[in-house]
Structures are given as structure tokens and as C-alpha cells.
Amino acid sequence: MIRILLADDHAVVRAGTRQFLETADDLTVIAEAEDGDTAKLLIAQHQPDIAVLDIRMPNCNGIELAKWIRRNHSRVRVLILTAYDDAPYIKAVLEAGAQGYMLKTTDPMTIIQAVRDIHKGQSFVGPSIAERMMEVIATREPSPTDVEPLTEREREVLKFAGKGLTNKAIALELGISSRTVQGHLANIYGKLRVGSRTEAVMKGVQMGIIEVAS
């Protein structure tokens, strides 16, 4: 079972989200929080697999909570599920290290699949969020001095990550071990100065390493 924590300050939204998530026989919601501080306590107590967070919450918003999770409970993966797709939010979510970003208007089955993909180590963004991400990247001035050059193998790993492959799948493609892939990804994060797979892929697009299908 994939164990999920929901954090949203609207009880009706939490109830609806819980209802459709638990229609899947491999998902279970183990805890709910109405604000960021309560979410911290519940995450420390229950150690969920996935934290599904709204952005705007009292006491600690979803972006700050995602940063806290990355620092203190890095095994817990984060899906931002919100009504906001403004460029500043997208940039902040990427920098916070969330593995997924979707709008609440997304089809429930797509959100269920996103939870499964994120649990497997992939990143997931909704189509409309992906379009906005490209706009955010397009408005930034890429600077080669911002990052250390990647090796050819690191570029290969990043390209496969951009296609949504898991570490195991990348290992099979390149004929190396999953541990080696994990090591390459760690090096990539350090060189690109990012904290998550999603942010690394977005920076790879910005640098021209990863091509975006038209």
C-alpha cells in the first residue's frame, strides 16, 4: 500500500481527495492535516510515503512544508495539489524540491497515477503546469557559469530522467546498476545546484540537454 498524508486547510477538499484516492486498492490515506504545523507532526509520527499538500495553508504553507520535508524526512515524497499555477508559485515549488505539481481541477484518475509514479521515483506535473513551467524557463536567462558541466554519462542519465524513467529503468537502458544511476543523479543535482529530479529536468531543458517535444 502507498501511504498518503493529506494537508489542506479545507475539510471538504480533504474529504473529496481522500474519497477518490482510496478508490484505488493500492492507496490509503493514513492522516490528514488542516495546517502546516500539524502536517509536520503527523509526518514525523507516521512517516507516509507521499505527502499531498496544498500551497496556501495556515502556520506553514505547502512550499515551506515541502522544504522542511526535504531537509528532515527526505524519504517522504511530495505532490503539490493546488488551485494555483502562477509563475512565482511554480518557481518556488521547483526550488522546494517537490516531486509533483498538479491542479485540483485535474481528473482524479490522473492524480492517482501521479501518486503511483511519484512513489516509484518519478516526477509528475500536470499538462497545464508543464506549459507554465516552460514559460517560466523561457523568461529566465540561462548562464553557463551557473553550473558545472555534466559528463557525457550524466547527460545521458538526465535525458532518461526527463523521459520519466525510474532509476531501475535508466540502469537497464545504460547497462549499469541502480546504485550507479543514483550516484550520477546526486552528482547532477550538485552540479546543477538543484534539489530534486523535477528541478534537474527543468534545468536540463533550459540548458538544451533535454529537448521538449513540440
Instruction: State the Cα–Cα distance between residues 123 and 115, nearest whole angstrom.
Output: 9
**Centroid of chain to Cα 79:** 6
Confidence of residue 47 (pLDDT cuts 50, 70, 90): very high
CATH 1.10.10.10, the chain: domain bounds: 141-207
79 within 8 A of 119, measured Cβ to Cβ: no
Q: What is the DSSP letter of 139?
A: T
| Class of the CATH-defined domain 2-137 | alpha beta
pLDDT for 117-143, tens place per residue? 899 888 787 766 776 666 665 555 555
pLDDT, residue 145, reads 47
Cα 23 to chain centroid distance, Å, stands at 23
Domain with CATH 3.40.50.2300 in the chain: 2-137
CATH number for 141-207: choose from 3.30.70.260, 1.10.1740.10, 3.40.640.10, 1.10.10.10.
1.10.10.10
What is the longest distance spanned by two Cα atoms in the chain? 49
Whether 64 shows a pLDDT value over 70: the answer reads yes
pTM of the full predicted structure? 0.66
46 pLDDT exceeds 60? Answer: yes
From the CB of residue 153, how many other CB atoms can be counted at a distance below 10 Å?
Answer: 14
Locate 15 and state its grid cell. Answer: 474529504
pLDDT of residue 97: 83
**pLDDT on residue 140:** 55
Q: Which three cell numbers stand for residue 158?
A: 538526465
pLDDT single digits (tens) 178-206: 999 999 998 898 888 887 887 888 778 77
Q: In Å, what is the CA distance from 165 to each residue of 178, 187, 199?
A: 12, 18, 15
pLDDT at 135: 63
